Amino acid sequence: MVLPIILYGSPILRKKAFDIDKENNVKEIISNMTGTLKQMGGIGLAGPQVDLLKNIFIIDTTPLEGDNIEVVEKVCMNPEIIHYADSDEFYEEGCLSIPGIFEEVKRPGQVEVRYRDENFDWHEEVLTGISARVFQHEYDHLQGILFIDRLSALRRKMIRSKLKKISHHK
């Protein structure tokens, strides 16, 4: 089932999500979120974006295939970022909850992460490139942080009217 995307301006996007456990209907949640992400053509989707205040996100970089970008498809539940590299990189980010706005965002180019997969098995890995970028973006969603919060005050001021339009159309 394709779920409606929660748009900028909704209070749920600013709340901290809670850990997901086996009692939550995980298979259905993953199926719905994956279907929604594919339908919307995004590369990442976090629980709060579909009105689910749970620590889960889906990464699927398939839409970027052919841009010399590795295809990554994974479910990350109860994720943690253990370590951020010192090297920062800029990359243009967008967000399904903030349609039509794309901005250069500075983030560490490498992160060491830990998360549970769809079988609740723990994984620990070092991510670089697009994987590191999307993981951090989606992880931020679970903390109530949006990519626009990582922009300079001047950039935020420049997109303020676009943001107002989005928040009035929810």
- Look at residue 30 in the predicted model and tell me its pLDDT: 96
Q: Is the pLDDT of residue 68 over 80?
A: no
b/e for 71-104, b at 16 or more Cβ within 10 A?
ebebbbbbbebeeebeeebebebbbbbbeebebe
b/e for 110-142, b at 16 or more Cβ within 10 A?
bbebebbebeeeeeeeebebbbbbbbbbbbbbb
Q: Is the pLDDT of residue 170 over 60?
A: no
Catalytic residues: 138
Structure tokens at 26: 């995980």
* Digit-coded pLDDT (tens) for 11-60: 999 999 999 998 889 999 999 999 999 999 999 999 999 999 999 999 99
Distances (CA, A) of 142 to 51, 56, 138, 145, 158: 12, 8, 7, 7, 26
Question: What residue ranges define each of the domains in the chain, with the CATH number in brackets?
Answer: 11-168 (3.90.45.10)
Nearest alpha carbon to residue 93 among 36, 35, 157, 159: 159
pTM of the model: 0.95
Over the chain, what is the mean pLDDT? 94
